[in-house]
Amino acid sequence: MNPKDYLQDVILLAKRAGEAILEVYHSEDIEQEQKSDDSPLTRADLASHRVIVDGLRALTPDIPVLSEESKGISAAERQSWPTYWLVDPLDGTKEFIARNDEFTVNIALIDNNQSVLGVIYVPVFEVTYSAAKEHGAFKQERSEALEKISVRKVPSDKGTKRYTVVASRRHGLDKVEKLCRQMPSFDLASRGSSLKMCLVAEGKADLYPRLAPTSEWDTAAAQIIVEEAGGQLVRTDFEPMRYNTKDELLNPHFYVLGDNSEDWKSLLRNS
């Protein structure tokens, strides 16, 4: 299996899901309800889920699909899968409800517990981030040319490094601010959904510390994009993030790191 062979089909599928989301986004009624974990669900989540799951089953009938909105898949069943699709049909549902445009479609291919393909599509802005293992990371805005992306070296101001840190506006911001105070100089910005990880991958931010709960479908697509751009997505003990290795689908807290020449362990040692 060569993950990049699926890349263009998955990009087109993510865009189709984005169109389904925007139909709801621009309507008067998004039909919001609460799931059992108190997270919100809209008919856009479900519309995107149906488009993606049906499309992936047609594309790769022999590869199972695990979506945030999947029902009835046990831990024992999914842990028997060596390869599977991992999907967040609408990442940033709260941002969608707030109508601030910061939501995405996330599709990842997991092989042997590692993310090997990732597509993140931003419907409102028609921006696509994509990567496949050993193929590089790319960004495309609307119909413009594909642009290879990479993390940046941390910039300096008069010899003092100044880190750009991105964080969730809704989760764990106080912990992130405490961590930032360990840095010689920093700028802190808030973003929704997987866009925070994409900013690190494309060299517009240096660090995204996630010190609050997430699920595996929140990070899988972004992880391979960040890694192929030269960065890292690691647990706070700096061990690699892996998928489908435990009964629950919650992630540990993690860091998305840019510049690999940076001594991140020393910088973040007290977090």
Residue 108 has pLDDT above 80, yes or no: yes
Q: Above pLDDT 90, what percent of the chain?
A: 86
Give the number of residues written for the chain: 271
CA distance 253 to 237: 9
Spell out the residues 6+ positions from residue 62 whose beta carbon is closer than 8 angstroms to its own. none
Average pLDDT of the chain to the nearest whole number: 95
Q: What is the DSSP letter of 267?
A: H
pTM attached to this predicted model: 0.96
Query: What is the helix (H) or strand (E) element at residue 191, kind and residue range?
Result: strand 186-191
| Orientation angle between helical segments 7-25 and 43-59, nearest 10 degrees | 160
pLDDT of residue 135: 97
Domain with CATH 3.30.540.10 in the chain: 3-148
Q: Which two tokens stand for residue 154?
A: 């941390």
Domain spanning 156-267, CATH architecture: 3-Layer(aba) Sandwich (3.40)
Q: Tell me: the pLDDT tens digits for 29-75?
A: 888 888 877 788 999 999 999 999 999 999 999 999 999 999 999 99
The residue behind tokens 């106080």 is 174
**What percent of the chain lies above the pLDDT cut of 70?**
99
Q: How far apart are CA 10 and CA 8, in angstroms?
A: 5
Say how far apart CA 92 and CA 95 lie, in whole Å.
5
Q: How far apart are CA 65 and CA 86, in angstroms?
A: 6
Q: Element (H or E) spanning 23, and its range? A: helix 7-25
pLDDT in tens, 123-163: 999 999 999 999 999 999 998 999 999 999 999 988 899 99
Examine the pLDDT at 215 and tell me if it is beyond 90.
yes
Give the model's pLDDT for residue 99: 94
At 169, is the pLDDT very low, low, confident or very high (cuts 50, 70, 90)?
confident
In the numeric block, which tokens belong to residue 264? 């991140």
Buried b (16+ CB within 10 A) or exposed e, 49-65: bebbbebbeeebeebbb
pLDDT at 256 over 90: yes
The fold adopted by the segment(s) 3-148 is Fructose-1,6-Bisphosphatase; Chain A, domain 1 (3.30.540)
**Domain span(s) for CATH 3.40.190.80 in the chain:** 156-267
Q: pLDDT-derived band of residue 270, with 50, 70 and 90 as boundaries?
A: low
End-to-end, the C-alpha distance of the chain in Å comes to 39
Q: What is the pLDDT of residue 263?
A: 94
Q: What is the mean pLDDT of residues 233-251?
A: 96
